[in-house]
Amino acid sequence: MKSEVEYFAFIVNKDGIQPSPKKVEAMLKVPEPENVKELQSWLGLVNYYRKFIPDMSTVLQPLNELLTKKSKWNWNENCKKSFLKISKLLSSTKVLAHYDPNVNVELAVDASPYGLGCVISHKYENGEERPIAYASRTLTSAERNYSQIEREALAIIFGVTRFHQYLYGRKFTLITDNKPLSLLLGPKTGIPMLAASRIQRWAIQLSGYQYDVKCKSSSENANADGLSRLPLKETLCESPFNIFWEEVEIRNVQALNELPVSANNIKRETEKRFNSR
């Protein structure tokens, strides 16, 4: 019996999940990019492993600047250092914990004037915390005009949306450093009728989840705080997981067709009803 398997460029064993050493080694041998297209391709590969590196955007900043329309291609010393540093980080990533539905889950979120960050972790009975995944993104120009409490609320929505498959249908602890927000969007508060309309919409969205709110200072909430202040500029890339989730959706449709009343039955009867009018 094998003690570990390689699946979609990841090594999976009893301790958790980590990048495949073979794939990382191949990435380390990639030559320095000579144009924007080559840089985008390389960043797409790096982006595939972003959930393992909470502060990756710090190192990528010089490279991300080369992707802006106003920037001319200038592969300088800072870019070289960034390229080498990210390779070093990839070769020293930590093992992420396997998701266990029987273990307590915490979602820590935070927002800065220019980014959102979140960390989903397991909290074990012995007090140990192990991250399951990290996520961050930059704010759009419109979102940067939000008030701080709205950005903090948006960070919550970003977190529960990104990790919906882990959180929906189970109880978890939501961690934020904004005490007024913890009262405003608490599970027992109800829909805040006097709040801004977008916060009301977000409160309705959160009503579908089962959670408790815990307020921590930024120093105690360091992982999410750091991610929000150093957000990763999301790069669109083709990922094997995209194909995986498409297969999951297809299987769900197939399962519906095996029920006593299938999706095809509903479609056929609906068409009959409208045609008879």
| pLDDT tens by residue, 217-268 | 655 544 454 444 445 454 333 333 343 334 444 444 444 444 556 667 777 8
Task: Report how far residue 259's alpha carbon sits from residue 257's, in angstroms, rounded to the nearest whole number.
Answer: 6
Same domain as 223, residue 129:
yes
Span 214-225, pLDDT tens digits: 887 655 544 454
Same domain as 268, residue 224:
no
Is 95 a domain residue?
Answer: no
Phi and psi angles of residue 197, each rounded to the nearest 5 degrees, phi first:
-60, -40
Same domain as 260, residue 193:
no
Comparing 23-32, 64-73, 87-96, 146-155, which segment has the lowest mean pLDDT? 87-96
| Range among 48-62, 105-119, 142-156, 258-272 rated most confident | 142-156
- Assign 3-class secondary structure to the chain: CCCEEEECCEEEECCEEEECHHHHHHHHCCCCCCCHHHHHHHHHHHHCCHHHCCCHHHHHHHHHHCCCCCCCCCCCHHHHHHHHHHHHHHCCCCCECCCCCCCEEEEEEEECCCEEEEEEEEECCCCCEEEEEEEEEECCCCHHHCCHHHHHHHHHHHHHHHCHHHHCCCEEEEEECCHHHHHHCCCCCCCCCCCCHHHHHHHHHHCCCEEEEEECCCCCCHHHHHHHHCCCCCCCCCCHHHHHHHHHHHHHHHHHHCCCCCHHHHHHHHHHHHHCC
pLDDT at 253: 42
Is 242 a domain residue?
Answer: no
Same domain as 111, residue 15:
no
Q: Stretch 145-171: mean pLDDT, rounded?
A: 92
Same domain as 113, residue 206:
yes
Same domain as 108, residue 74:
no
Averaged confidence pLDDT in the chain: 77
Q: Stretch 185-191: mean pLDDT, rounded?
A: 70
Same domain as 56, residue 19:
yes
Q: How many C-beta atoms surround the C-beta of residue 24 within 10 A?
A: 17
pLDDT at 55: 59
Is 98 a domain residue?
Answer: no
Phi and psi angles of residue 249, each rounded to the nearest 5 degrees, phi first:
-65, -40
Same domain as 170, residue 68:
no
Whether the pLDDT of residue 203 is over 70: the answer is yes
Same domain as 223, residue 125:
yes
Same domain as 143, residue 113:
yes
Closest CA to 117 of 261, 267, 227: 227
Comparing 53-57, 192-196, 224-228, 270-274, which segment has the lowest mean pLDDT? 224-228
Of 90, 124, 148, the domain-final residue:
90
Task: Report how far residue 166's alpha carbon sits from residue 132's, in angstroms, rounded to the nearest whole number.
Answer: 10
Is 240 a domain residue?
Answer: no
Find tokens 């020293």 and name the residue.
Answer: 92
Same domain as 76, residue 145:
no
Of 90, 121, 148, the domain-final residue:
90
Is 17 a domain residue?
Answer: yes
Domain enclosing residue 259, as ranges: 249-275
Task: Report how far residue 135's alpha carbon sits from residue 131's, in angstroms, rounded to the nearest whole number.
Answer: 11
Under the banding of pLDDT at 50, 70 and 90, the label for residue 1 is confident
| Exposed e or buried b per residue across 203-217, where buried means at least 16 C-beta atoms within 10 angstroms of its C-beta | beebeebebebebbe
Phi and psi angles of residue 182, each rounded to the nearest 5 degrees, phi first:
-65, -30
Q: What tokens were used for 275?
A: 């045609």
CATH number for position 142:
3.30.420.10
Q: Stretch 76-99: mean pLDDT, rounded?
A: 83
Beta strands across the sheet bearing 4-7: 4-7, 10-13, 16-19
* pLDDT more than 70, % of the chain: 77
pLDDT at 254: 44
- Count how many domains the chain has: 3
> Is the separation of the CB atoms in 52 and 26 below 8 Å?
no
pLDDT at 260: 59
Find tokens 């390389």 and name the residue.
Answer: 42
CATH number for position 76:
3.30.70.270
Same domain as 31, residue 140:
no
pTM more than 0.75 = no
pLDDT at 151: 92
> Is the separation of the CB atoms in 97 and 132 below 8 Å?
yes
